A and B are shown apart, each in its own frame.
Chain A
Amino acid sequence: NAGVTQTPKFQVLKTGQSMTLQCAQDMNHNSMYWYRQDPGMGLRLIYYSASEGTTDKGEVPNGYNVSRLNKREFSLRLESAAPSQTSVYFCASSEIWGSGGGTEAFFGQGTRLTVV
């Protein structure tokens, strides 16, 4: 059981290049998320998808687009990369658990992106 898998693990881009970060989960979760984490900082939510077919902006959506391809996969696209997007990107998934509600989220190992 792999949990949440992100690809690639590392990437270097030149300013203006585009790329797509891939994320897949095998836990049949409805909700998926993309975060970025800058050095020494907490996680900031970029986009999320509450369920298949829906996506919504988080705290820092500018410069990014997402696609919820199916229930398993949620991709993050940088159309024109900028040095300010140098960060570690984490994908996560979650589902309601237990009879009382509440949510446990599972995170991938991250993608380290450097834009030069």
Chain B
Amino acid sequence: LAKTTQPISMDSYEGQEVNITCSHNNIATNDYITWYQQFPSQGPRFIIQGYKTKVTNEVASLFIPADRKSSTLSLPRVSLSDTAVYYCLVGLSMIKAAGNKLTFGGGTRVLVKP
């Protein structure tokens, strides 16, 4: 499984854009990049997933450069309720038979201030 490195914590203010970069230098050809969000006392929640270039949904955007050795989660105009831990995961197999072992790193603790 590809090892990921992301900042331990980030502070921001309401209305700002938050960008969290995750490094995954040994990403494999078939690996997807997935981000999860975890609020205190809750289980993680899927935010976004991508393979290459850019993916956008109603919550976030995910930017993946051509070499795929890093990715950036972008949260536009954050609010206080976006305060959470954000996890970057890499290494989800496309092959169903291999199973989909999900391994989390330490995540990035984002604090949004008023």
- Residues of A with Cβ closer than 8 Å to B? 4, 30-31, 33, 35, 41-45, 48, 50-51, 54, 56, 58-59, 90, 92, 94-96, 100-110
Asked whether A102 lies within 8 Å of B92 as measured between CB atoms, the reply is yes
**Which residue of A50, A92, A101 contacts B43 across the interface (Cβ within 8 Å)?**
A92
A42 pairs with B106, CB closer than 8 A: yes
Q: Is B104 on the interface with A (CB-CB < 8 A)?
A: yes
Q: Which residues of B contact A35 (CB under 8 A)?
A: 104
Contact check, A96 vs B100: say whether CB atoms are below 8 A apart: yes
- The smallest C-beta distance from A58 to any residue of chain B, in angstroms, reads 7
- Does B94 contact A31, Cβ atoms closer than 8 Å? no
**Consensus secondary structure, chain B interface:** loop
Q: A42-B106, A48-B101 are in contact. Are A104 and B43 (CB under 8 A)?
A: no
With A48-B99, A48-B101, A102-B92 known as contacts, the answer to whether A42 contacts B107 (CB < 8 A) is yes
Cβ of A29 to closest chain B Cβ, rounded Å = 9
Partner of A105, one of B51, B102, B106: B102
Chain A residues in 8 Å Cβ range of B85: 42
Chain B minimum-CB-distance residue to A43? B104
Q: List the A side residues contacting B95 at CB < 8 Å.
A: 101
Would B41 and A103 count as touching, CB distance under 8 A? no
Residues of A contacting B44 in the complex (Cβ-Cβ under 8 angstroms):
43, 90, 92, 105, 107
B57 to chain A, nearest CB (A): 12
Given known contacts A42-B107, A108-B43, A109-B43, is B51 in contact with A103 (CB within 8 Å)?
A: no
Of chain A, the residue at the smallest CB distance from B41 is: A110
| Residues of chain B with a CB closer than 8 A to A107's CB | 42-45
Chain B residues, CB < 8 A from A106: 46
Decide if A103 touches B100 in the complex (CB within 8 Å). Answer: yes
Which residues on the B side are within 8 Å of A105 (C-beta)?
36, 44, 46, 100, 102
Contact A100 B87, beta carbon cutoff 8 Å: no
The reply to whether A45 and B32 form a contact with Cβ atoms under 8 Å apart is: no
B59 at the interface (CB under 8 A from A): no
